[in-house]
Amino acid sequence: MKFPKFDKSKLKHLKWVGYFFAYVFAFIIFAYVSFPYERLRQYVVSTYNSNQTPPSQNRLEIDSLSWSWRFPGLVAEGVRLVIPTPPVPDAEKQPPPQYLEADQVVVSASALALLTGSRKASFGAHALDGEISGWARDSAAGRHLELQLDGVNPGGIPQLASAVGLPLAGKLDGTISVEIPENNFSKAEGTVDLAAEDLVLGDGKAKIQNTIALPELHVGAFTLKAQITGGRLKIDECTAQGRDLDLALTGNIRLRPKVENSVADMELKFSFAEKYRTQSDMTKALFGQPDSKLPGIFDAATSSHLTKNEDGSYGTRLAGTLARIQPRPLGGAARRAKDASGSRRRSRASRRGAKGEADEAEADEAAEDAP
């Protein structure tokens, strides 16, 4: 059997084709590695910061930006989002800003998605003492976000710590999936499924509503399940049962483009374990002696924010933006607190004999009654 002779002239052409592709490959790699990432870092930071508007003018900081082995991709080191703390009226020293930090963030773009006219990227980050990963897509039809949390410390999220009002510590795992059609948050759809272990609330120093400091609370296991429909996050399950505290949260949150501006309307009910209330002379003073009819310091200090039930549990309504959420007593207790506050203002105005001040008191009461 005879084999056809190989045409050596074809080998010459294949060699030049190989040279061409090798040159293109080397050019792409060289351009990818030698790209001016420092200028890109400055552009990203300046663009983000210039787009911030009052009152929440967050500031982005990135220590360094370079190429990633996940081609095409970027690696950002030392990423910080500086979140200003709302000023405290008449305070000599204003509170320092808060930080949302990530040691390293890796972002990899999808070249195939670019060919279809959309932008899709996967990402991963070493942040909040744990791992955060997921992917996001941005197209003419809308945006989609998938987020996976693994061992994240919720206390490192300033917006969450501000909403709770006390320091948090623990390990948070779970997933978040959000679809935003036409980039309109009023049409957002999605799910939230989170769980925390060894959750600890408070540190014995931070004060509730700047009034009273509670000893460290071991909340234990925490579960949050919620559905997002029509731009509203409805809580299906939010419970915790731990050594020191049992709690349940119900309600909903109207989503906004900035998380801290989202509007909450929720009810929180919780109770302290008897062992926690009587563990020391300090806690006995805070919650009162079991056989005493005199209220403890905690009840007296939180009467304008919490409703105490006959079984010893507490309840409160949480309303307002997540950045400035306000606790109020539930049901009739809220009305009684309002009436008492209005009566005190009218009494002061009457004693001073100032009609203008009485009118101002009535205006204040009307403002409080307004939704």
pLDDT tens column, 278-300: 888 888 888 887 777 777 888 88
Tell which of 94, 127, 160 closes a domain. Answer: 127
Q: With cut-offs at 50, 70 and 90, classify the pLDDT of residue 2.
A: low
pLDDT at residue 147 tops 90: yes
Q: Tell whether the model's pLDDT for residue 371 goes beyond 50.
A: no
Residues 6+ away with beta carbon under 8 Å from 329: 303, 304, 305, 306, 307, 315, 316, 317, 336, 337
User: Tokens 């990633």 map to which residue?
Assistant: 68
Chain centroid offset of residue 238 CA:
16
Q: Is residue 206 part of a domain?
A: yes
Instruction: Determine the structural domain holding residue 354 and report its residue range.
Output: 331-371
Print burial letters for 68-102: b (CB count within 10 Å at least 16), e (below 16): eeeebbbbbeebebbbbeeeeeeeeeeeeebebeb
Residues 170 and 191 in one domain: yes
- pLDDT at site 366: 42
On whether residue 5 sits in a domain, the answer given is no
Give a three-class secondary structure readout of the chain.
CCCCCCCHHHHHHHHHHHHHHHHHHHHHHHHHHCCCHHHHHHHHHHHHHHCCCCCCCCEEEEEEEEECCCCCEEEEEEEEEEECCCCCCCCCCCCCCEEEEEEEEEEEECHHHHHCCCEEEEEEEEECCEEEEEEEEEECCEEEEEEEEEEECHHHCHHHHHHHCCCEEEEEEEEEEEEEECCCHHHCEEEEEEEEEEEEECCCCCEECCCEECCCEEEEEEEEEEEEECCEEEEEEEEEECCCEEEEEEEEEECCCCHHHCEEEEEEEEEECHHHHCCCHHHHHHHCCCCCCCCCHHHHHCCCCCEECCCCCEEEEEEEEHHHCEEECCCHHHHHHHHHHHHHHHHHHHHHCCHHHHHHHHHHHHHHHCC
Does 295 lie in the same domain as 347? no
Residues 251 and 354 in one domain: no
Whether residue 186 is found in the same domain as residue 317: yes
Shared domain check, 361 and 349: yes
Answer yes or no: is pLDDT of 364 > 70.
Answer: no
Q: How far apart are CA 75 and CA 66, in angstroms?
A: 5
Q: What is the pLDDT of residue 335?
A: 43
Mean pLDDT over 107-133 rounds to 88
pLDDT greater than 50 at residue 119: yes
Residue 109 clears pLDDT 80, i.e. is over it: yes
Whether 224 has a pLDDT exceeding 60, the answer reads yes
Taking alpha carbons only, the member of 236, 78, 255, 225 closest to residue 159 is 255
Number of domains in the chain: 3
**Are 25 and 169 in a shared domain?**
no
Virtual torsion, Cα 70, 71, 72, 74, nearest 10 deg: 40
> Can you tell me the mean pLDDT for 113-140?
89
Domain final residue pick, 127, 153, 170: 127
Q: What is the per-residue pLDDT for 163?
A: 67
Decide if pLDDT at 149 tops 90: yes
* Together in a domain, 241 and 262: yes
Are 243 and 348 members of one domain? no
Question: Tell me, what's the pLDDT at 158?
Answer: 79
**From CA 75, how far away is CA 103, in angstroms rounded?**
11
Would 8 be classed as within a structural domain? no
Examine residue 173 and state whether it is found in any structural domain, yes or no: yes
Q: How far apart are CA 314 and CA 50, in angstroms?
A: 44
Mean pLDDT computed over 10-37: 85
Asked if residue 15 belongs to a domain, the reply is no
Tell me which of 110, 127, 144 is where a domain ends. Answer: 127
Within a domain: 11: no
Does residue 323 contact residue 86 with C-beta atoms inside 8 Å?
yes
Do residue 246 and residue 335 come from a single domain? no
Is the domain of 357 the same as that of 286?
A: no
pLDDT digits (tens, 9 = 90+) for 301-354: 888 888 988 888 999 999 998 877 888 998 654 444 444 445 445 555 455 444
**What pLDDT does residue 355 have?**
45
Radius of gyration in angstroms for the set of CA atoms belonging to the chain, rounded to a whole number: 28
Which tens digit of pLDDT belongs to each residue from 160-182?
Answer: 777 677 788 899 999 999 999 98
What is the per-residue pLDDT for 1? 55
Residue 360 CA from chain centroid, whole number: 37
Q: Is residue 6 part of a domain?
A: no
Q: Are residues 161 and 180 in the same domain?
A: yes
d(CA 186, CA 254): 8
Asked if residue 300 and residue 205 are part of one domain, the reply reads: yes
Residue 9 domain-assigned (yes or no): no
Quote the pLDDT of residue 8.
Answer: 61
